[in-house]
Amino acid sequence: MYHYKAPLKDIQFLLHDVLGYQHLTTCYDEDLLSEELCNSILEECAKFTETVLSPLNHIGDIHGATLENNQVTTAPGFKEAYRQFVEAGWNGLISSPEFGGQGLPILLSAATEEMWHAANMSFTLCPLLTRGAIEAIEYAANSSLKETFLPNMISGKWTGTMNLTEPQAGSDLSAIKTKAIKSGDCYKIIGQKIYITYGDHDLSENIIHLVLARLPDAPPGIKGISLFIVPKYLVNEDGSVGEKNDINTVSLEHKLGIHASPTCVLSYGDQGGATGYLVGEENRGIEIMFIMMNAARFSVGVQGFAIAEMAYQAALAYAQERKQGIPIGADTSLPILHHADVAQSLLNLKLSINACRHLSYYAAKLLDLRRSSEVSERNNAAELSDLLTPIVKGFCTEIGNQVCYQSIQIFGGMGFIEETGVAQYFRDARITTIYEGTTGIQANDLLGRKILRDKGNVLNKLFMEIDSTLAVARNKNMNKDVINILENALSASKDVSHHLINHDENYYKYSHANNLLMLMGWLVTGWLSLNEMLVCEDKRINVALDQSFFNNKLKGLEYYIIHNLPRCVALKETIKHNQILNHPNIISELLTVS
């Protein structure tokens, strides 16, 4: 079994040298931003993930969560690990200090999330969901609800869930049927919810469900859905946990992966109605849910490359120990790492993860800057962050799956044997491109709401940023192949977005949504890589620093751009020339099995 080692040096380099963590002074008090505090948190996190979370990961896969007598039991060790997680204060890292949180930057939190997910994705889903619920309550609930629920949720004493999906309402939430009927100060909730992550478990004293439901007189569709807090146990006047609410755990799903994360079917109101409390205004539930959802989408993007990091580490360790055949240039059998094709494959994996990490951390910094005290900084960050969220979610999870796939390949036959452990990452990762909106949903969001709606206005600002980075790189005489390839990728992206914005056939445009998302993912990670190269270029002339670290980084970043960015031009060709799918009618006959 392979254990996780947090890539602290890579993480710290990105945070401090590339993204300027300490300079987020328009968003946070300076004393929260010290490099020392940041690094000590990261080091503690590394220790916790390496020693507590990682050793439980395979155990969780084997044992899974179990349901008996309407109560879910988590895998051995999970309860104790959660206790330690809560006691160390990890749960409230970015939450509001008003209710006991530490109010630290999202950028720092992104790095801790990466480590948690890499070490144990199934475990980390619980705090991930709790955080989403906290954010929705912070954003929209009245002060009485906040005081009742937030302190215990931020400390981690209670956990949270998101209850969106119903059998007929998955990607399309307008089809939600769960009912909410007013009853005094609160509501009675009746209906069935599926795919509820940590919908029941034994880790915490209480579980706070955030549930989408429909009032009897609500308008049809998406504008008639309200959001409710529905706790597993009702909360007494004094804040203590009271009697059980009318919620049943009907069953647990038998899933391809993340076995230790209980995915529940929950039934509300079998005894007449579960007690719920309205969050925000009636019929405005979807807006609030999207607050949670955007945070969750970002986190799932992090999850995508985090689990890939773990898979890569396992593959690297195996490639360093498994001897097989005599590599080119050697005269004896060496570890397979020394075969050129294996080396290239491993390098691709590492650099792809690196690029996704940079993209996600950059997006996290933008989430921080949305709180800037400077209006223009705040607005720019908000625009760009909205544009990038579907790319973070879609691109990082697709790449993450490719990395996990390829990590099995490095193991050869051993990768297909479950005991090796690498198959688990491959299975676990498979959900990341699906939940919190499939890649297709992200791609449609990117194309429709983020590019077509403002006719590419924000996108063009991003293109201008990339242009200026390229100008700096040209002035500094950086690697010409790198600059050419990124320039070509940028031209291709400008060309194709202009083409799509001005095309008048919607069906054709959306048929290429997935291609556009991947193209943008390559372009943005290529651009961020060039930024990172510029930092390395400055650093490596400083002899006081570890020059080999920066030299290697530079080589790797050049490699990433040259290896991957030529795809952008190919994707442009594909999108522009492939207009065969220009009308819904054409598709059915082409797809028939004959």
| Count of residues making up the chain | 594
Stretch near a copy of itself under the rule CB under 8 A, chosen from 39-47, 91-99, 127-135, 404-412: 404-412
For residues 234-273, which are near a copy of itself according to CB under 8 A?
A: 253-257
For the CB of residue 512, give the shortest distance to a copy of itself in the complex, in Å. Answer: 7
Give the other-Cβ count within 10 Å of 281's Cβ: 12
Residue 331 touches a copy of itself, criterion: CB under 8 A: no
Nearer to a copy of itself, 261 or 531 (CB): 261
With residue 438 as reference, give the H or E element that holds it. Answer: none
Q: Which two tokens stand for residue 336?
A: 């397979």
434 vs 349: CA distance, rounded Å = 21
Nearer to a copy of itself, 209 or 567 (CB): 567
For residues 114-173, which are near a copy of itself according to CB under 8 A?
A: 165, 168, 170-172
Catalytic residue among 114, 436, 532, 558: 436
Q: Strand, helix or coil at 109?
A: helix
DSSP-assigned letter for residue 586: H
Residue 290 touches a copy of itself, criterion: CB under 8 A: no
Nearer to a copy of itself, 235 or 311 (CB): 311
Residue 39 touches a copy of itself, criterion: CB under 8 A: no
Residue with tokens 């981690």: 156
Beta-bridge mates of residue 277: 229
Largest CA distance in the chain: 83
Among 337, 387, 470, 533, binds a copy of itself (CB under 8 A): 337
DSSP letter string, 361-407: HHHHHHHHHTT-SSHHHHHHHHHHHHHHHHHHHHHHHHHHHHHHHHH
For the CB of residue 349, give the shortest distance to a copy of itself in the complex, in Å. Answer: 9
Stretch near a copy of itself under the rule CB under 8 A, chosen from 37-45, 74-82, 277-285, 560-568: 560-568
For residues 433-492, which are near a copy of itself according to CB under 8 A?
A: 433-435, 438-440, 443-444, 481, 485
Nearer to a copy of itself, 247 or 446 (CB): 446
Residue 287 touches a copy of itself, criterion: CB under 8 A: no
Cα 273 off chain centre by: 34
Among 405, 460, 465, 501, binds a copy of itself (CB under 8 A): 405
Residue 224 touches a copy of itself, criterion: CB under 8 A: no
DSSP-assigned letter for residue 94: S
154 vs 96: CA distance, rounded Å = 9
For the CB of residue 433, give the shortest distance to a copy of itself in the complex, in Å. Answer: 6
Residue 47 touches a copy of itself, criterion: CB under 8 A: no
For residues 341-370, which are near a copy of itself according to CB under 8 A?
A: 341-347, 350
Cα 234 off chain centre by: 31
Q: Cα separations (Å) of 261 from 1, 109, 120, 206, 586?
A: 20, 22, 10, 17, 42
Nearer to a copy of itself, 105 or 304 (CB): 304
Q: Is 166 an annotated catalytic residue?
A: no
Residue 66 touches a copy of itself, criterion: CB under 8 A: no
Among 38, 121, 513, 520, binds a copy of itself (CB under 8 A): 513
Nearer to a copy of itself, 27 or 483 (CB): 483
Residue with tokens 């400008």: 494
Q: Which two tokens stand for residue 465?
A: 């940023």
Residue 321 touches a copy of itself, criterion: CB under 8 A: no
Nearer to a copy of itself, 109 or 514 (CB): 514
Nearer to a copy of itself, 233 or 549 (CB): 549
For the CB of residue 593, give the shortest distance to a copy of itself in the complex, in Å. Answer: 5
Among 412, 453, 472, 538, binds a copy of itself (CB under 8 A): 412
Q: What are phi and psi of 274, to 5 degrees?
A: -85, 140
Q: Which two tokens stand for residue 332?
A: 């004896």
Burial of 329 (0-12, 13-18, 19+ CB in 10 A): exposed
Residue 552 touches a copy of itself, criterion: CB under 8 A: yes
For residues 529-548, which are near a copy of itself according to CB under 8 A?
A: 548
Give the other-Cβ count within 10 Å of 298's Cβ: 25
Residue 393 touches a copy of itself, criterion: CB under 8 A: no
Residue 220 touches a copy of itself, criterion: CB under 8 A: no
Counting Cα atoms < 13 Å in the Cβ hemisphere of 148 gives 22
Q: Strand, helix or coil at 240?
A: coil
Nearer to a copy of itself, 160 or 415 (CB): 415
Among 103, 224, 242, 566, binds a copy of itself (CB under 8 A): 566
Nearest to 430 by CA among 390, 405, 401: 401
For residues 6-35, which are near a copy of itself according to CB under 8 A?
A: 7-10
For the CB of residue 389, give the shortest distance to a copy of itself in the complex, in Å. Answer: 18
Residue with tokens 């580490």: 313
Q: Give the CA-trace dihedral at 136, 141, 145, 150, to 10 degrees.
A: 30
Catalytic residues: 436
